[in-house]
Amino acid sequence: MHGFVKTTAFMVTFTVGSGAIGLCALCNDLLLYHHNQRGLALLEQNNDSLRSLNKVHDALLVRIESDPNMIRRIAPAVLGIKPEDPNAYYPSAGSRELAAAEQTLSRHNQSRRSIPVLPAWLVRVSEPRRRTALFLAGGVLVLVSFACFGLIKSEPGQAQGGRK
């Protein structure tokens, strides 16, 4: 029973210590990985927004091709010029309305985006002081595991190889 406890204690302390050392060694690679994932997510979002913009423009081009008068109707609103038709009314939005619409759209876009953020533990470990402390603590745990739990000594009454 004593050997089982000693082996278990060795495995736990050695695993934690070597894990801490490995984390310190791989910290820069983990940071690079998370930054690349964030950049990839941003690029995918930009591509999605460009695809949706292309779909809107394609639909508008199809409508313009099917109805030639459409250009005459939308040109004043898009270009901001006075309409040719005196009976036409094109509302102009004020700065307040535009600001409110912009805030609503930005809130909608921010809620839709799910850009991965650096995990808090990785931010803490990447600090040089904490990384050094974690490396030293891991090294001490590995040394303690070998010094205290490493070798199981045979009892004085038993000879080597299990024979008496």
Record the pTM: 0.59
Mean pLDDT, 10 residues at a time, the chain of 164 residues = 85 94 94 92 90 91 84 73 69 73 76 73 91 95 88 61 50
Residue at 44: amino acid letter: E
Name residue, tokens 């102009």: 92
Is residue 5 within 8 A of residue 104, CB to CB? The reply is: no
Q: Under a CB-based contact definition with an 8 Å cutoff, are residues 42 and 115 in contact?
A: yes
pLDDT of amino acid 111 = 55
